[in-house]
Structure 1
Amino acid sequence: MKKFIIKTLGCKVNQCESEAIRNALVESGRGIASGDEGGADVVIVNTCSVTRKAAMQSRQAVRQAIRANPDARIVVTGCHAQTAAAEMAAIDGVDLIVGNRDKHMIPRRILSQLPEHADGAVPTECSDTDRPGTNRIDQFEMLPAMATGSRTRPFLKIQDGCDAYCTYCIVPHARGRSRSLPMDQVLKQIEQLGRLGYREVVLTGIHIGCYGHDLTPATGLIELLCLIREAGSIDRVRVSSIEPAELSDAIIDLACSGQDQSGRLCPHFHIPLQSGDDGILKRMHRPYSRDDFKARVQRIIGRLPDAAIGVDTLIGFPGETDAAFEHTYDLIRSLPVAYLHVFPFSAREGTPAFTFKDQVPAPVVKKRCARMRRLGAKKRQEFYARHVGKAVTVLVEATRDRISGCLKGFSDNYIPVLFDGSDDLANTFQPVEIKDISADGVPAGVVFDRTTDG
């Protein structure tokens, strides 16, 4: 049996796409090679370019794959393949470069057309994604979301691309225009996941709040979420990162209602802030103010006091003074957020911010990031502590915690919980009372009524 390995870097969208490619290859009769021990006939590296570090890690992953699998053919795809195709093709041992436009064709290409080891020019398929007059990506590339392995909450990509063009972001150049999976196909895939026994699905995309704007007739995310609830094909739905201006009152209200229904929306919202300083937000080309963000968080907590709110921050953007950073820090400190993702600014060639002159020195950025991460850890522990003594509904995962041996799972408001129980609880909903927080900061609980499932 021919075997393959897929290595994935970056976001949930990349993970979703890699999973779909893997499933298509398995269905066609390919086997999955284990780890980095060699034995693969094909290695696919799905790259990321969102930061300079991600680009560097992508190049490292390609070189590691070549060293570990000297006889395999190496296929490089993803955002760094799209934005730096020549750089990736120059790595000795790469056999094929495939951009995001043609990523969905990789299974068929590997099976029927992949050339022998490249000798000279490396075949490259990376159509321009966004420049007028070019063959840009305008259609949603179909990658079915059939989960495999031990994943309890499969990702379903419903949207790709972005039209926002924030001044720091390379993603529109790597992913192209915003485009959506038609509603009937979303519902069909969720129905298929439900038939396979999955209880929760995570809807993901690059700019998911723009879902449906490109469809005919135009629609929106709230309409899709309502249809998913009406269909009742899956028990729980979780939405990945969503912009503050696009997290409407209607979406918040939907998460408040019907918590005993199938298709219920989890009270968990991951909202990019990036900066809490209005001047920096304008330089970033972000369409909201710090007061807008604060009002949105307060609206969520007013309706859903136990909701998990995750926040992205981008630290060290050009022109970020000490005062501007303090505006961000003070805003986060004042809000009941559950956790932070802290990113240092990374100048990406091809974006306006790459040319900005007032760059923040690296040591200053590092110090600010460390301080913000400490705040994030404090916020996370405070969020967990607020739930001690409360009952949460946990979707039990198929694999146990490696350290404690306990069952594990996530509540609807994204609290990871460890608890004792038998293996037959896997992929069921269990009511768990959170008793305490372990020494390493993980909530621990007890199942108090095993007769409930659903």
Structure 2
Amino acid sequence: MKKLVIKTLGCKVNQCESESICNALLESGQGFTCDESGEAEVVIINTCTVTSKAAMQSRQAVRQAIRANPGARIVVTGCHAQMAPEELAAIEGVDLVVGNRDKHQISNEILSGLGKNRDRIAPVKCPDVAGPAQFEMLPGIAHGGRTRPFIKIQDGCNAFCTYCIVPHARGRSRSLPMEQVLDQVVSLAKLGNREVVLTGIHIGCYGQDLNPETSLYELLCQIRQAGAIDRVRVSSIEPAELSDAIIDLAVTDKKMPGRLCRHFHIPLQSGDDGILNRMHRPYGRDDFSILVKKIIDRVPDAAIGVDTLIGFPGETDAAFDQTYDLIASLPVAYLHVFPFSARNGTPAYSYENQVPVQTIKERCQRMRKLGAQKRRSFYERHVGRTVTVLVEETREKKDGRLKGLTDNYIPVLFDGPDELTNTFQQVEIQGVSADGVPEGRAL
């Protein structure tokens, strides 16, 4: 058997793409196995470049893979490969560098017998991502052994926020045709999956490039109409693109197939209108506040997750307080807190009034503490309630209990036999542990 290892950095889209490549190789009939023990024969590093730190970690991951697997064929792909292909190709031990547009060819490159290139610079397959393009369909279904597998329905971004390098690494927005999305949903359902997660770089733009044009809302309606899968979860969606119609799809009979989970992850980034304007974000703090309150009014127990970007150039103490106070006032369930990192190639890299690193760290600590309070408060509101959880395939590492996830993104630990995995179970939430984990008992 040929041992294969894929190291993935960054976002859910990268995870989805890695799983697709992995499954294509495992199902190729060429004797591949995914085994972390011992030295691998093939290592793929799917890199990230969203921040300078992520790019550095990607380079570190490449070198670590080379040291740990001296006889392996090393393939580097992903967003950092797209942005710095020659730098990665020059690392001794790298055999191939593949940009985002050619990721779908990686499995074929490996199956065709990728040779060793230790005596020369590795070949680079990294076409420019600028300009229009069709969705690049990766081989293999991205189930990855997950209870809730990803389906990548969209790639690229047209927004060009001033802090973000992703449009340069991923290209323009493009969508997987609806019939192919539906085919993947059906295929995953036939494999026994009960929930799928729709993911993309700018998922709210889904369908705008297709002919005829369609939308994320229409896709969700078609998935519901097909009735193949029990639950559908949507990854991060921009505030201006979360329509009333999409929100209303989460207001439904719990037994309806294809139901949209009561879970919305919405990037805020800043609660200060001046900073939002400098970021080129197309909304204001009042717009965001109205949206969150609207969701809770229509879907009272919805989990609302929020991204914040702390320390953007020009963020004064007062501007940070605007963000902190807005989050504190809203019924959000959890936060993702990111420190601003000046990324070469973006307008914000050269903006004046850069915030000191220590100030950013202190503000992030305050925001993360608020996020922990919000998360615990959201969990505690559900103590004493009976909830429906989808039981995960893997147990809690510390004590072996089963793990289940509600449609509104509450993880619950409880005792039970292996036979309950990948089934929906009724669980009474009895409390929240000292470290913030909901605990319950199966009914």
Preserved contact between residue 344 and residue 365 of structure 1 (Cα < 8 Å) = yes
Q: Which amino acid aligns with 2:105?
A: M
Partner letter of residue 338 of structure 1?
A
Task: State the partner residue of 2:337.
Answer: 342
Contact 1:145-1:154 within 8 A present in 2 as well:
no
Q: 1:393 aligned to 388, 391, 402, which one? A: 388
Aligned residues of 2:135 and 2:155 also touching (Cα < 8 A): yes
Q: Which amino acid aligns with 1:90?
A: A
Match of 1:214 among 209, 212, 230: 209
Q: State the alpha-carbon separation in 1 of the partners of residues 159 and 280 from structure 2.
A: 8
Aligned to 2:26: 26
Which residue identity lines up with residue 178 of structure 2 in the other structure? M
Contact 1:16 1:145 in 2 (8 A): no
Residue type of the alignment partner of 2:116: E
TM-score normalised to the size of structure 1? 0.95
The runs of 5 or more residues in structure 1 that have no matched partner are 131-135, 449-454
Aligned to 1:165: 160
User: 1:157-236 alignment to 2 at 5 Å?
Assistant: 157-236=152-231
Quote how far apart the aligned CAs of 1:146 are.
2.4
1:257 matched to 2:258: no
CA distance in 1, matches of 2:402, 2:72: 38
By how many angstroms is 1:54 displaced?
0.8
**TM-superposition CA deviations, 1:69-99 (whole Å, max 9, x none):** 0011110000000011122112111111000
For residues 28-64 of structure 1, the C-alpha deviation after alignment (integer angstroms, 9 at most, x for no partner) is: 13423532631x1111000000111111110110010
1:291 corresponds to which residue? Answer: 286
2:72 counterpart residue number: 72
Structure 2: how far apart are the matches of 1:23 and 1:67?
Answer: 25
Residue 312 of structure 2 is aligned to residue 317 of structure 1? yes
Give the match for residue 120 of structure 1.
120
The answer (yes or no) to whether the contact 2:152–2:198 under 8 Å persists in 1 is yes
Matches within 5 A, 1:417-436: 417-436=412-431
Corresponding letter in the other structure for 2:21: I
8 Å CA contact retained: 2:23, 2:144: no
The one-letter amino acid of 1:280's match is I
Three-state SS of the structure 2 residue aligned to 1:212 is coil
Matches within 5 A, 1:2-17: 2-17=2-17
AA paired with 1:109?
A: E
Tell me the SS of whatever aligns to 1:187: helix
Show the counterpart of 1:107.
Answer: 107
Which of 257-266 and 177-186 deviates more? 257-266
In the other structure, the counterpart of 1:332 is: 327
- 1:128-151 CA-partner distances (Å, limit 9, x unpaired): 111xxxxx4611011256245541
Question: How many Å separate the matches in 2 of 1:32 and 1:137?
Answer: 36
Distance between the aligned counterparts of 1:129 and 1:86, measured in 2? 16
Identity of aligned residues (%): 71
CA contact (8 A) 1:145 1:155 kept: no
Q: Does the residue aligned with 1:256 lie in a helix, a strand or coil?
A: coil
CA distance in 1, matches of 2:132, 2:53: 26
Question: Which residue does the alignment assign to 1:452?
Answer: none
Cα pair distance change 1:149/1:281, threshold 3 Å: closer
Give structure 1 regions of 4+ aligned residues with deviation exceeding 4 angstroms.
none
Q: Distance in 2 between matches of 1:441 and 1:109?
A: 46
CA-to-partner distance for each residue in 1:398-427, whole Å, 9 max, x for gaps?
A: 111111211111000000000111111111
Cα distance in structure 1, aligned partners of 2:170 and 2:54: 16
Q: Distance in 2 between matches of 1:118 and 1:320?
A: 47
The size of the alignment, in residue pairs, is 442
- CA change 1:145–1:234 in 2 (3 A) is farther
Q: Deviations over 1:249-282 (max 9, x none)?
A: 0001111023221100000000000000000000
Structure 2: distance between partners of 1:353 and 1:95: 34
SS at match of 2:167: helix
Q: Give 2:236's aligned residue.
A: 241
Aligned residue for 1:434, secondary structure, equals strand
How far, CA to CA, are the matches of 1:294 and 1:310 in structure 2? 13
- The separation in 2 between residues aligned to 1:246 and 1:144, in whole angstroms, is 29
Gaps of 5+ in 2: none
1:36–1:88 Cα change, 3 Å: farther
Decide which of 347, 356, 362 is 2:351's aligned counterpart.
Answer: 356
Structure 2 equivalent of residue 268 of structure 1: 263
CA 1:139/1:118 → structure 2, altered by over 3 Å: closer, same or farther?
farther
The structure-2 alpha-carbon separation of the partners of 1:15 and 1:137, relative to structure 1 and needing over 3 Å to count, comes to: farther
CA distance, structure 2, for counterparts of residue 117 and residue 431 of structure 1 = 55
Matching of residue 96 in structure 1 with residue 96 in structure 2 = yes
Give TM-score, length-normalised by structure 2: 0.98
Partner of 2:103, secondary structure, is helix
Structure 1 residues 145 and 266 mapped into 2: Cα distance closer, same or farther (>3 Å)? farther
The one-letter amino acid paired with 1:37 is G
Q: Give the whole-Å Cα distance in 1 for the aligned partners of 2:413 and 2:195.
A: 19
Give the structure 2 partner of residue 376 of structure 1: 371
* Partner deviation per Cα, 1:158-203 (whole Å, 9 max, x = no partner): 0000000000000000000000000000001100111111000000
SS at match of 1:378: helix
Contact 2:163 2:343 in 1 (8 A): yes
Q: Take 1:60 and 1:22, find their aligned partners in 2: how far apart are those partners?
A: 22
Question: Could you tell me which amino acid in structure 1 is paired with residue 67 of structure 2?
Answer: R
Tell whether the 8 Å contact from 2:143 to 2:150 is kept in structure 1 after alignment: no
Deviates more, 1:6-15 or 1:348-357: 348-357
Taking the aligned partners of 2:118 and 2:211, their CA distance within structure 1 comes to 43
Q: Contact 1:396–1:430 (CA<8 Å) still a contact in 2?
A: yes
The aligned runs of 1:34-49 (5 Å cut-off) are 34-35=35-36, 37-38=38-39, 40-49=40-49
CA RMSD of aligned residues (A): 1.2
1:447 equivalent in alignment to 2:436: no
